């Protein structure tokens, strides 16, 4: 899988075959997901021969705006202090009968090799934790 994290917009995953998108899932949507911009209006080519934008892919979600609040979390689950935000209303998940969603955690680190990197884990079916690391000077 290839992942894309655009803070306050979306988290998505997709597969490609010869630079064409063969499978695509929206994992969660942020407060500004439906706000038009150059990224959201970029034309994507799919293996079925169609061309759609990311906004086309997410517009069927009919989302009300997600809660755009990020909370500072201290001493939770043995993790260092971090900001936590929720990106709900991803694609419908047949396994759970609910919509995919992401808990995003933004952490500062002194480890320069981890600067601006992120990991995504699926801790339950169609429920994801994204951890984004940024260095502190």
pLDDT (0 to 100) of residue 49? 94
pLDDT (0 to 100) of residue 101? 94
CA distance 95 to 125: 7
Q: What is the mean pLDDT of each run of 10 residues along the chain (137 residues)?
A: 88 92 91 85 92 84 59 81 88 93 86 75 95 79
pLDDT (0 to 100) of residue 125? 96
- Cβ(46)–Cβ(31) below 8 Å: no
pLDDT (0 to 100) of residue 33? 84
pLDDT (0 to 100) of residue 27? 93
């Amino acid at each position: 899988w290839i992942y894309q994290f655009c803070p306050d917009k979306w988290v998505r995953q997709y597969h490609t075959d010869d630079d064409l998108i063969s499978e695509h899932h929206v994992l969660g949507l942020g407060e500004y997901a439906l706000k038009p911009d150059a990224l959201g209006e970029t034309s994507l080519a799919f293996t079925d021969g169609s061309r759609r934008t990311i906004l086309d892919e997410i517009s069927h979600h009919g989302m009300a705006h997600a809660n755009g609040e990020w909370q500072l979390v201290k001493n939770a689950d043995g993790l260092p202090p971090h900001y936590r935000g929720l990106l709900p209303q991803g694609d419908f998940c047949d396994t759970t009968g609910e919509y995919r969603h992401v808990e995003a955690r933004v952490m500062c680190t002194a480890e320069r090799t981890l600067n601006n990197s992120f990991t995504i884990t699926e801790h339950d079916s169609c429920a994801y934790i994204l951890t984004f690391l940024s260095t502190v000077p």
